[in-house]
A and B are shown apart, each in its own frame.
Chain A
């Protein structure tokens, strides 16, 4: 309570508020979109303190004319560009189908990455296939770019008898050691110090592999992110910290993670880490920035923090309805456009692609996802019987089953005979 006798001014709490709410017109006029190609490309060994401007600028390659501009142009050959576009189209087709699958009751949950495909597909294509990635839950593009079988993804989403993770994990919490893709956790930002630790281990052993981690801008507020940046800086760890600033953390706009006063790339400055801010809807800029950071890490020049400025075009998840907290016009008027369209238009502009081939590719992606979905459904869908046997629930808590888990496994088996007497005891399944 303010003291009426005091002559000191009263204090006021600032609670951030986004510029537009449902029904409001949107205004992105304050957001300065610099000219593509206008940013210089520093040497990969540049000291962090000499890179301050890069934390506030926006690295862009693809211009309004759909051509590649400036020193950040990675000069990829047309085949690589078509592969990149193909992966991004596949991610989009996959997201569409899986979202629908959730609505049809085939699984409990799904999360799309619509509008952010370049930040995972294009960025990860700049890494070596054995560089270790520590993703959040919105980098399915990395798995697709690394050739992870779609059927494994769908089996995991359906938690069925074919699920490599034995139905233990919420849909989309993939893991693939073979593809150097770390097990996804529901706990936000925990993967960031883990990526730093992996990179430290690689350095301790004199290895040549590097680590990269992805985290949303909302999760940068977690203490783990601060720990990750500190350890990365202290030990000069060969790691890339990718921050996907898609403007929204469920219903909270980026202002609640600190975006009103600074950029996320500028966080790097205080840690003495190289920071880059990149157009996250520009696949070539995403590739180029990741390549720059990878070269830097590989040469023992230390970590890089990259902010990808992008927009979460869809709801947070199948459990979310964004019309409850943000203007529908935002997506329409987002000034950096759509990453798939921009890459497609670039390929067309350089005479290496056309609308007919694009349509054929989109159709082929949709058909492949559909056929694979049908194949995966033979292993079951959530809640329809086909799943891993009961005893697997107790396995892998520890390397070996201790006595108390053995006792509990026996109890589950007894219960099972009472609850589902018609089922075959070995498969836990309804066949």
Chain B
């Protein structure tokens, strides 16, 4: 029994209510708005309209305009005022409409939110959760497809969380909102409606056909810093997060490879114990992410695995990533680290 199904049997039956990732995120926000009067949701188009991806639909009507509201188009302002609200004692949950547009707010995130607890020796903290849709595979072109997670994992003082299922999205988002450290919560928009497998010419199944769409109503948490065992296997370890969890899973199934797949869920702090245990068991490791290769988070994972599992490794650690180019529009499927690239890497690792 994997960790996911274990958690689910504890909270609800697999035959329970099924929702997609957008609805799960909406429920997490709704639950926390109801539970904690200091939670504030804000961002471009999140108020009356309910968000361009519907993640905040209905929340303003239910919780009021001073709890859920629209903001000017200013990422620097959105994150800057959130830091000030945190200093007051609120628990803001700002949204950045696309991760590609988080850069104007990056000074406020890196220089302020991430450092505030440290530089004030805990006098002030920034208990905020920055939600932002990220990742490609949707013909989003250069500025609606990026995966900038390594820009944040490199910053001491920030936590970075990326869910891959509706069940995780709700539980992890509730944990992130309750966490007293600033959290970057990247939502893989490619899998908002269904678990995309990377086989772009096949229709995408909706979440309702997937067990991880069984999501309890009300409050529950998934701890930050804990990976999810997607499937157990002996042949090789796959480290992935977000959309790429589903792609790697589908490729392993397609090729009949007995892969041990870990969905990291939290990049900082990282579940190093789960990674070490898996790689020491299989002796082989494949790292998969959509982000560009050079200095991507995969480099950190590869270094950690090599440093900590060196004498257990039977093949070099491989990385399957996006190419070191801006995200192209027309050549989306040539760029996307899909089944062919992952399959070749798996073959290469297993050949040695």
Contacts and interface: CB of A to CB of B under 8 A. Distances in A.
Interface of A: 132, 134, 164-166, 168-169, 173, 175-177, 182-183, 185-187, 190, 192-205, 211, 223-224, 226-228, 230-231, 234, 396-399, 402-404
Given A177-B124, A397-B157, A398-B159, A403 B269 contact: yes
B104 A198 contact: no
Nearest to A193: B80
Which of B74, B81, B179 counts the most chain A CB atoms within 10 A? Answer: B81
Contacts of B156: 397
A354 to B, nearest CB: 42
A204 B76 contact: no
A43 B180 CA distance: 43
B66 A231 contact: no
B72 to A, nearest CB: 5
Nearest to B70: A234
A230 B90 contact: no
13 contacts: A165-B121, A168-B119, A168-B121, A190-B107, A197-B82, A198-B87, A205-B90, A223-B104, A224-B107, A234-B72, A396-B122, A397-B156, A403-B269
A182 B87 contact: yes
Contact of B120 (A183, A187, A201, A399): A183
Interface in B143-163: 156-157, 159
B269 A402 contact: yes
Nearest to B40: A204
A194 B181 contact: no
A190 B111 contact: yes
Contacts of B123: 175-177, 183
Given A166-B121, A230-B77, A399-B181, A200 B111 contact: no
B119 A193 contact: no
A227 B76 contact: yes
Instruction: State the 6 A-B residue pairs at the shortest beta-carbon distance, nearest first.
Output: A197-B84, A193-B80, A197-B81, A227-B77, A201-B88, A194-B84
Contacts of A398: 117, 157, 159, 181, 269
B75 to A, nearest CB: 9
B286 to A, nearest CB: 22
Nearest to B38: A205
A421 B349 CA distance: 47
Interface of B: 40, 66-67, 71-72, 74, 76-77, 80-85, 87-90, 92, 104, 107-108, 111-112, 115-125, 156-157, 159, 179-181, 225, 268-270, 272
Given A175-B124, A399-B180, A404-B270, A231 B81 contact: yes
A163 to B, nearest CB: 9
A211 B84 CA distance: 10
A300 B233 CA distance: 63
B107 A193 contact: no
Contacts of B268: 402
Contacts of B40: 201, 204
Given A204-B40, A231-B72, A403-B272, A193 B84 contact: yes
A84 B27 CA distance: 54
Contacts of B272: 403-404
A262 to B, nearest CB: 22
B112 A194 contact: yes
Contact of B90 (A132, A165, A195, A201): A201
Contacts of A230: 72, 74, 77
Contact of B80 (A173, A186, A228): A228
B225 A197 contact: no
A194 B87 contact: yes
Given A190-B108, A201-B88, A182 B76 contact: no
Given A190-B108, A231-B81, A399-B117, 5 more contacts: A204-B90, A224-B77, A227-B76, A396-B117, A403-B272
Nearest to B108: A190
Nearest to B72: A230
Given A197-B82, A198-B85, A202-B88, A175 B121 contact: yes
B124 A224 contact: no
A194 B120 contact: no
Given A190-B80, A399-B181, A173 B74 contact: no
Contacts of A198: 84-85, 87-88
A227 B72 CA distance: 9
Given A176-B123, A193-B84, A204-B40, A231 B77 contact: yes
Contacts of A164: 121
Contacts of B83: 190, 193-194, 197
Nearest to A174: B120
B76 A193 contact: yes
A112 B107 CA distance: 26
A183 B119 contact: yes
A56 B84 CA distance: 31
A234 B180 CA distance: 28
A223 B107 CA distance: 11
Nearest to A163: B121
Given A177-B124, A204-B40, A185 B119 contact: yes
B269 A231 contact: no
B84 A165 contact: no
Contacts of B125: 399
Contacts of B76: 193, 223-224, 227
Contacts of A234: 71-72
A246 B83 CA distance: 28
- Which of A185, A187, A197, A203 has the most CB atoms of chain B within a 10 A radius of its CB? A197
A176 B123 CA distance: 7
